[in-house]
A and B are shown apart, each in its own frame.
Chain A
Amino acid sequence: MKRRDFWVFTAILGLVLALLILGRALRPAPVQNARATLSVSLEGTPVTGQPARADSYLRIKQGEAYYHLVPLNKAGEIVIKQEQGWENVIHIDKDSVVMHSANCPNQDCVRMGKMTLLNIETRVHQRWITCLPHQLSLELIPGDEAQRLMEGQ
């Protein structure tokens, strides 16, 4: 252990503290004015810009493209296929989302577990489930915020 190692510890500790404070201060908010161009299909019917009322909604983003909000009011399965052969299977239920399976190499998204309206405050990944290799992210948006988003569009 040498003298300057102490600086290293201090710098890392400072960085952690700064990030924790930032994380407390800045509440996650959905990206505004993101035009949805894609839509998923639930039980054979596409989800469009006027979804059913629900306490929470799922917003899927693939690369730079956004999907129309999916109301989380009943159980269902969403399959996102991409032309590279990438496939993600998302299971939704009332106010909850889970990445059921993915054919990505690291499987981190599957291990991120179930995201619900109740646990997004305490999850490490907050309101997101991300599949980095497939450039896919799932965002759970509470009903009131979602309403504001839909009015803005």
Chain B
Amino acid sequence: MLLIYCPYCQVERAEVEFRCGGEAHIARPSDPEKTTDEDWVEFLYMRANTKGVIAERWRHIHGCGRFFNALRDTVSDNFLTFYKTGEPMPTLETLPQEAGK
């Protein structure tokens, strides 16, 4: 079971308090009328499914109820960092060396 830090509650809690919301930073097409079928497929179904570090959404359903984002290594399942919705995705270079170890 994962230990997850909620950046809103500023507490670390067990995974069962949270719901994973899948890949983060996927924006809904802003103009549906002009969006092609291929772009809808990208938005609705295509996922990076990276073996390595991914950005994903979590929701603290049994806490504050808010969505936030996290970087996690999908091989070790270790989190690198947590950040609030709306904040830009941290780049790996800006993280401390020991993150995710």
Task: Determine if chain A interacts with chain B.
Answer: no
